[in-house]
């Protein structure tokens, strides 16, 4: 089939799509939905009533379980939202489940007359893969080759890097004089390494993330308000301002992440990144163009001048080209058509 697809896009029901505040999964879900509609597909978004979309909205909950603590356990809410789509499977060519936490759609995959494809938003462990391998035929879209590698043994039909709304990130030719760390305060994100790097380089570092226990226990004692500055949690406008003003985004990530949205967002502002080589970093950062990827923190500290020397206009242009929504939407449409075709061939259905 080559015409418009009838797509059930099942988002999380934690909060609205797109989210009011933070929620990168919910933001990506929204970008994909709107992009699919813009390309003429017939999209039904299964999400909370607070969601805003040009697709048809199917909402079994007025709001999300982040806002309404009576909606408990959250797993059941996500299950009911997914079930609402599967119960209407005949109306769709494909069901796309954005598994924010785990791929519960596997349990529904053999009960649906319409194929269900899933996107994961974390790096699965070997134990998880062993568990999920009860359903080796169920299709996944990976968000990086790194995640696809971890999904080994499962049916990865495509790898589609996330897109961002590049127009929402203002290009800044001339930065101010600071490094930026933007992300949750965890060991995995490497905030302590970022502080260490800034101190050793004798540079100013701004930290932006929500205040939490980790912040109070481990980060706050290192914040002096002069060289190491804490800016709190920022909204979108604040994020764009901080990203654009940074000489570089410092990303000394310690655990392997399947993507790294903040890398693409920094680049879209023209800001190069100084990153450690973990997880999907090499797939998101074009080494030598949009940033530099280092093996060790020592190398990163020593390499900062070379990061600053990268051409911010080229960083911006590369980000727009690689992380535009259109490319992501194209990737998903290809993946959908592949899954629908395979499913039609397997079941003898025409697929439309």
- Per CB under 8 A, the list member of 42, 67, 128, 286 interacting with a second copy is 128
Q: How far is the CB of 134 from a second copy (least distance, A)?
A: 6
Q: Is 49 in the site for a second copy (CB under 8 A)?
A: no
Q: How far is the CB of 105 from a second copy (least distance, A)?
A: 10
Q: How far apart are CA 67 and CA 150, in angstroms?
A: 33
Q: How far apart are CA 269 and CA 212, in angstroms?
A: 27
Q: How far is the CB of 62 from a second copy (least distance, A)?
A: 12
Q: Is 82 in the site for a second copy (CB under 8 A)?
A: yes
- How far, CA to CA in Å, does 114 sit from each of 59, 88, 95, 157, 257? 20, 9, 7, 16, 31
Q: Is 104 in the site for a second copy (CB under 8 A)?
A: yes
Q: Bridge partners of 43?
A: 7
- Per CB under 8 A, the list member of 46, 108, 140, 214 interacting with a second copy is 108
Span from 106-114, 116-124, 274-282, 320-328 in contact with a second copy (CB under 8 A): 106-114
Cβ atoms of 142 and 296 within 8 Å: the answer is no
Q: Is 130 in the site for a second copy (CB under 8 A)?
A: yes
Q: Footprint of a second copy on residues 242-301 (CB under 8 A)?
A: none
Show the site string, 56-75: x = touches a second copy by CB under 8 A, - = not.
----x---------xxxx-x
Q: Is 131 in the site for a second copy (CB under 8 A)?
A: yes
Q: How many chain residues are in contact with a second copy, going by CB under 8 A?
A: 27
Nearer to a second copy, 73 or 348 (CB): 73
Q: Is 77 in the site for a second copy (CB under 8 A)?
A: yes
Q: How far is the CB of 178 from a second copy (least distance, A)?
A: 40
Torsion (CA) 230, 235, 241, 247 in degrees, nearest 10: 50
Q: How far is the CB of 99 from a second copy (least distance, A)?
A: 11
Nearer to a second copy, 28 or 82 (CB): 82
Q: How far is the CB of 275 from a second copy (least distance, A)?
A: 30
Q: How far apart are CA 345 and CA 153, in angstroms?
A: 22
Q: Is 176 in the site for a second copy (CB under 8 A)?
A: no
Q: How far is the CB of 170 from a second copy (least distance, A)?
A: 40
Nearer to a second copy, 75 or 298 (CB): 75
Catalog residues that contact a second copy under the rule CB under 8 A.
60, 70-73, 75-77, 79-80, 82-83, 86-87, 102, 104, 106-108, 110-112, 127-128, 130-131, 134
């Amino acid at each position: 089939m080559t015409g418009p697809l009838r797509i059930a896009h099942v988002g999380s029901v934690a909060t609205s799509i797109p989210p009011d505040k933070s929620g990168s999964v919910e933001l990506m879900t929204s970008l994909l939905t709107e992009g699919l509609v813009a390309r003429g597909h017939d999209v039904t978004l299964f999400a909370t009533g607070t969601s805003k979309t040009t697709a048809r909205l199917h909402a079994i909950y007025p709001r999300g379980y982040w806002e309404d603590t009576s909606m408990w356990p959250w797993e059941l809410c996500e299950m009911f939202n997914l079930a609402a789509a599967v119960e209407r499977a005949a109306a769709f060519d494909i069901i796309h489940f954005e598994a924010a936490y785990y791929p519960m759609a596997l349990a529904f995959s053999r009960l649906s007359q319409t194929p269900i494809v899933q996107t994961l938003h974390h790096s699965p462990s070997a134990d998880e893969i062993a568990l999920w391998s009860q359903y080796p035929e169920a299709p996944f879209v990976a968000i990086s080759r790194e995640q696809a590698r971890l999904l080994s043994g499962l049916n990865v039909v495509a790898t589609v890097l996330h897109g961002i709304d590049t127009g929402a990130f203002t290009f800044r030719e001339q930065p101010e004089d600071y490094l930026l760390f933007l992300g949750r305060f965890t060991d995995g994100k490497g905030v302590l390494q970022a502080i260490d790097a800034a101190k050793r380089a004798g540079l100013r570092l701004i930290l932006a993330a929500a205040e939490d226990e980790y912040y109070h226990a481990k980060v706050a004692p290192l914040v002096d308000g002069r060289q190491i500055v804490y800016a709190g949690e920022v909204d979108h406008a604040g994020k764009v301002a901080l990203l654009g003003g940074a000489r570089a985004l410092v990303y000394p990530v310690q655990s392997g992440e399947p993507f790294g949205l903040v890398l693409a967002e920094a680049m879209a502002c023209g800001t190069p990144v100084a990153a450690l080589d973990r997880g999907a970093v090499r797939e998101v950062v074009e080494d030598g163009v949009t940033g530099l990827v280092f093996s060790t923190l020592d190398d990163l500290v020593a390499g900062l001048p070379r990061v600053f020397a990268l051409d911010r206009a080229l960083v911006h242009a590369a980000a727009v080209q690689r992380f535009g929504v259109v490319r992501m939407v194209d990737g998903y449409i290809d993946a959908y058509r592949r899954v629908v075709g395979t499913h039609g061939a397997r079941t003898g259905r025409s697929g439309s």
